Amino acid sequence: MASEQLLSMEKAIFYHIYPLGLLGVDKTNDLVSAPVHRFPELYEWLKHIQELGFNALYIGPVFESSTHGYDTADYYLVDRRLGDDADLIAFVGQAHELGISVVLDGVFNHVGRDFFAFIDLRRFGKKSKYIDWFCNVDFSKKSPLKDPFIYDTWSGHYQLVKLNLKNKEVRAYLFGAVKKWINTYKIDGLRLDTADVLDFDFMRELSLFCKKENPGFWIMGEVVHGNYNKWVNATMLDSVTNYDYHTPIYESFNSGNFSKIAKTATQNFGPKGRYKNLELYSFVDNHDVNRAASTLKKPEHLFPLYLLLFTLPGIPAIYYGSEWGFEGKKTAHSDDLLRPKVNLKNLGKLAKHPKLLDAIKQFICVRDNCKTLLYGAYDTLVVNKEQYVFTRKSTYKTVIVIVNSSSKVAVINIPLKGFLLQNFSDLLNTEYCQKANENGLLVEVSPCWGRILVH
């Protein structure tokens, strides 16, 4: 069921959980204690996200690590702070029963210092048989962590040791783990951590391997900068994180000028857009960046912000807690405020924007029932400082999306061609109906809200 669903991933609406934070596990893993069976605590979250209308879950990291999950100690073990194999199998099975596909983190660029091959290297030095499992091991210098050698890292963090993905033994080890994830846990896809620095041949081989195991398997890469076409193509990945949206969408609200996001959307998805045929993973916050409610200057802009997320081209994703307007900012030395422990039963105390949940549920419902918002081509119609109008067009239908960031009611004249005397109704307010004339369409939009018009 889930694999068939993932054959058309433009239909996916993702919920994102960072489980080590949400479940409030210990910050460090002693790697010897008995597993703590926390996965069942997430069953209520599965029901919550199903009720909101989500059909896909990105959750991770979930494998044995020393601290935050991205310093893997063992790819073949579930992190004991979360549970064990049986827990993860049951969790994925429960998600599938609710119609939710599951995508896990694949952290293949680097490992933690507790990874067995690196422990061997530290113990045996030049005599270790795992020297070539890591990049640029050099015994002529000492590492900042007092190892008698240096090595490549991720972004200068010596707790994150860069794997040599060109090494056949390393690939065989990692692919063996992925085979287990697919066949034992029955996952539906992977999100590749730091895909922007991963070896391209490795990603091609990984993609081929996964598709042989499951033709419907989906692979998305974390890419911050670069031409996404280099990663998303027939031989490699199915999608990447669309960081292109991230800064312009906030600048448009905070500076009171929608030209920022309109320009990006046109360049990427317009008639000559460089990504018009790609299905990119869209988000406004995640476990690595400040929460939307902490990034916007005006909290009332959360509503039109999420309206844009669900109507612009892309595969939309919501990070846990943000549906209630959770706040959180990175600090110089910690991401903890982005990754809080949350008890679903106590959310009434934490929800600063309780009406946002219903708005997001409405946006999801509209998207889920309007194929043109999934497949329709993008084009810009009107860009004002505080109003933004664009179309999504399919063969038989045109959807007009209007966003108003003003604190006042906006009256917008939308020039239209080929729609003379057509009646337009609003998918967000079914009682609203407006008729186009020879001058276009005159539409009234509530403050910090929008309309999704169809004819």
CATH no. for residue 160?
3.90.400.10
Residue 302 in contact with residue 353, Cβ under 8 Å? yes
Q: Give the C-alpha separation, 341 to 81, whole Å.
A: 14
| 414 and 270 in a common domain | no
CA 364 to CA 358: how far, in whole Å?
10
Rg (CA), the chain: 23
Q: What angle do CA 413, 366, 221 make, to 5 degrees?
A: 105
Plot region of 307 (φ>0 → left; ψ -120 to 50 → alpha; else → beta): alpha
Domain co-membership, 192 together with 326: yes
The Cα 63–Cα 76 span in angstroms is: 7
Whether the model pTM is above 0.85: yes
Query: Residue 315 forms beta bridges with which residues?
Result: 281
Q: Do residues 415 and 369 both lie within one domain?
A: no
Q: What is the pLDDT of residue 149?
A: 98
Q: Are 181 and 154 members of one domain?
A: no
How far is Cα of residue 416 from the mean position of the Cα atoms in its chain?
A: 35
Instruction: Give dist(CA 179, CA 167) in Å, integer.
Output: 18
- Of the residues 343, 373, 403, the one at which a domain ends: 373
Are 26 and 144 part of one and the same domain?
Answer: no
What span, in angstroms and rounded, lies between the C-alpha atoms of 308 and 403?
A: 8
Please list the residues that pair with 454 across neighbouring strands.
Answer: 399, 425
**Of 373, 395, 418, which closes a domain?**
373
Domain match, 180 and 316 both: yes
Question: Are 240 and 383 within one domain?
Answer: no
Is residue 418 within 8 Å of residue 432, measured between CB atoms?
A: no
In sequence order, the 6+-apart residues with CB closer than 8 A to the CB of 85 are 78, 184, 185
Q: Are residues 214 and 279 in the same domain?
A: yes
Q: Residues 52, 108: one domain?
A: yes
How is residue 347 written in tokens?
A: 């959310």
Give SS3 for 254: helix
* pLDDT confidence of residue 439: 81
Residue 455 is predicted with a pLDDT of 86
Q: Which residues of 335-353 are buried (b: 16+ CB within 10 A; e: fewer)?
A: bebbbbebeeeebeeebeb
Q: Tell me, rounded to whole angstroms, the distance of Cα 144 from its chain centroid.
A: 33
Q: How far apart are CA 389 and CA 396, in angstroms?
A: 20
- State whether 257 and 336 are in the same domain: yes
Q: Which domain holds residue 128?
A: 113-164
Nearest to 16 by CA among 348, 289, 365: 289
| 304 in the same domain as 204 | yes
**In CATH, what number is assigned to the domain containing residue 429?**
2.60.40.1180
Output the domain CATH number for residue 209: 3.20.20.80
Q: How far apart are CA 398 and CA 377, in angstroms?
A: 9
Closest CA to 307 of 278, 275, 281, 284: 284
Q: Is 321 within 8 Å of 353 (Cβ atoms)?
A: no
pLDDT tens figures, 15-53:
999 999 999 999 999 999 999 999 999 999 999 999 999
> Which one of 373, 395, 421 terminates a domain?
373
> Bridge partners of 57?
15, 102
- Do 184 and 288 belong together in one domain? yes
- For the chain, how many structural domains are there in total? 3
Lookup result for tokens 């064990």: 84
For the stretch 392-427, what's the b/e string if a residue is b when 16 or more beta carbons lie within 10 angstroms of its beta carbon?
beeeeebbbbbbbbbeeebebebebeebeeeebbbb
Burial of 26 (0-12, 13-18, 19+ CB in 10 A): exposed
Q: Are 210 and 106 in contact (CB under 8 A)?
A: no
CA angle 68, 20, 226 (to 5 degrees): 55
User: If you ran DSSP here, which 8-state letter would residue 432 be given?
Assistant: E
Q: How far is Cα 417 from Cα 152, in angstroms, rounded to an integer?
A: 58
Query: Looking at 110-215, which runs of residues are DSSP E strands?
Result: 110-111, 153-154, 157-162, 189-192
Instruction: Report CA dihedral (129, 132, 136, 139) to the nearest 10 degrees.
Output: 20
pLDDT at 5: 43
User: Which residue type, as a one-letter code, is found at position 190?
Assistant: L
- Those residues of the chain that have pLDDT short of 70 are 1-8, 348-350, 418-421
